[in-house]
Structure formats: structure tokens, C-alpha cells
Amino acid sequence: MYSVNMNCDVETRIVLSGRLGNQIFQLCSALNLKAKYSTGVNLDARYSAPRDIQQLLSLKIVHDEEINLTNMQALYLENNILGRIYDFVLRSSRLVRYRLFRLTGLTKFNSTTHKSAHFMKDDEWQILTRFSGEVVGYFQDKNLVEKVWVDLESRVKRSTWFEIPAKLLSDQDVLIHVRLGDYLLHPEIGTLSESYYLEALKYFDYKNIYLITDDLREFRNRFPILKSRVIYIESSHEPLVAFKILCHSKNIIIGNSTFSYWGAIFSIMLNQYTKVVAPSPWRADNKSPSPLIDRFILVDSRL
């Protein structure tokens, strides 16, 4: 049974926005505040789709008392039909507004609409205080990740979700993640070329190449060489299945996606011998601070 706690009007509360990868960065900013001020973790999920919150909670790295939910979100998590209907309507309406915004620019899109929220840049987690109010940001900064590494690693290693074995790849297999889908509408982020992945593969002695992607058809159109060499993991169309496979793989080539980024990070936390190749720069516009930690091998993403 999930509790509903709306008494979050005093101390800083970090608004959860986006999907799993973004939310883990937001959790990191809350963990930093916890360590800095000896406070509790205060995550505000009230503006997120219930399905997105469910994925984060499934990892068991966030405790129930650390997250503020609405009644409808709580109903969804309890598999109530009203909660399911609410999630469907919310996600559908946001998708329509998002597509209109990306394609025409005529519709203002902001999934977090609370007027009192403070919108922060990625590196502004450093200036948050105990009483910063309602805070919205993605906080994709490697310095933040390093700052909370020990606390986050402890949560991962205590979580029963990570103990359940996924489809395990052998030490001679390489797993690649290719993010396409909605990234095709984000030229500022950019999609990675086949040349990046071919260059990254040079860092491994491998037997098989396994693929996780959110758009298999587009992958086959854009990757004429690799499409005949990779083994697509059919079950990976389920986000948490794909994420668990990432977390338990030892040889990983990630895309410029926070989803595979955190899968690789958690794999390193669970297995010190994990090798990760990542794209640099992280974004096509190179505007945000890099989240790429020193434990990654970096390959030029502009190939």
C-alpha cells in the first residue's frame, strides 16, 4: 500500500520529471541535499505520469516515504482501474501536445506546470539549499554523480530488484544501446551514427553483439553494416527488462541516452570489471555539462 503525503511545503522538494534516466539524476540531487543538510529525501512526483513513477519505484532505490504522490498515482500503483485510466489519458494528452510542439512550435509544452517551481540548470544542483522550495531540473552533471556515488551504490546493492538475474550475456558478448524514437525530433540532442558504434566496438574482443533499441525499423534503415551483425533482444521492448539487461552486462556501448547511461553506471556498481564506451560530446549542441564519468571510455560522437 502506497501512502499519499502532500505535506511538502517547507523544505526543498525535487520535482520528478521525464522518464527513468532523468528521474535518477533528480534522485541524485535529492541525495546530495540529504548528505549536505542531514535531511530526508524529498521527491515530488505529482506532475509525473504514474507509469513513469512505477518504473522508478520498481528499482527499489527510492523508499515510499521519500516520494510524494497524488491519490491517482497511488491508485495506479495499486493496479486500480481508475489509476490506469488516469495514466492513459495523461500520457496521451501530453504526447499530442509534445508532438505539436516539436513539429510546429505553435503549442507551448511543459509537462511540469506548477507556477511556483524554480527551474534550474544542470549544474545548479550545487546552489540548492535546504529551503529552495519546489525545484525542477535534470541535473545531468558528472560531478553530481560522483558526489553521491557511495550513497547511490549502497541503495543499488541493497535493492532486491538488482538481485534477480536478467538475461545474462557472456563475458565475450557486447551490448549496444541505440536511442532513436523521440530523438529524431531532437536535433539539439542528436542521434548517433553507425560510425560511432563501429569505432566503439574496437575496444572489445567479442563473440556476439546484442542490441537494445527503441526503434528497430529505424535502426535497420540507418545501420546497414550492423543490422546483419547484431542480435536483437526481443524482450527488450519492455523498458525495465532492457534496463535490467544493461545493469547485468559487462561490455556495454551506450547511446547518448540517460537510460543506457544509468544501466551502465549500475553495472559498474555491481561489477567492477564492467567496460563501458560512451559518446562524447554527449549532446549535438554540446550546451549542457557532461554527465560522462571518468570510468567510461569516450569515443567521438561526431563520427
Average pLDDT on 26-33 reads 96
Q: CATH code at 185? A: 3.40.50.11350
* Domain annotation covers residue 275: yes
Pick from 40-54, 62-76, 102-116, 119-133: least confident: 102-116
d(CA 221, CA 156): 37
Domain boundary among 103, 125, 158: 158
Count the domains in the chain. Answer: 2
Domain range for 112: 13-158
Q: What is the pLDDT of residue 289?
A: 81
pLDDT digits (tens, 9 = 90+) for 212-261: 999 999 999 999 999 999 999 988 889 999 999 999 999 999 999 999 99
Q: What is the pLDDT of residue 277?
A: 98
Q: What is the pLDDT of residue 102?
A: 54
Average pLDDT on 258-275 reads 96
**In this structure, are 94 and 206 located in the same domain?**
no
Please say if the pLDDT value at position 39 is more than 60.
yes
**In this structure, are 17 and 153 located in the same domain?**
yes
**In this structure, are 105 and 177 located in the same domain?**
no
Averaged pLDDT score across all residues of the chain: 88
Average pLDDT on 103-116 reads 54
Q: What is the pLDDT of residue 99?
A: 62
Q: What is the pLDDT of residue 132?
A: 83
**In this structure, are 232 and 205 located in the same domain?**
yes
Q: Is the pTM of this model over 0.85?
A: yes
pLDDT digits (tens, 9 = 90+) for 75-100: 888 888 887 887 778 777 766 665 66
Domain boundary among 158, 189, 209: 158
Q: What is the pLDDT of residue 95?
A: 66
**In this structure, are 79 and 181 located in the same domain?**
no
Pick from 60-69, 149-158, 258-267: least confident: 60-69
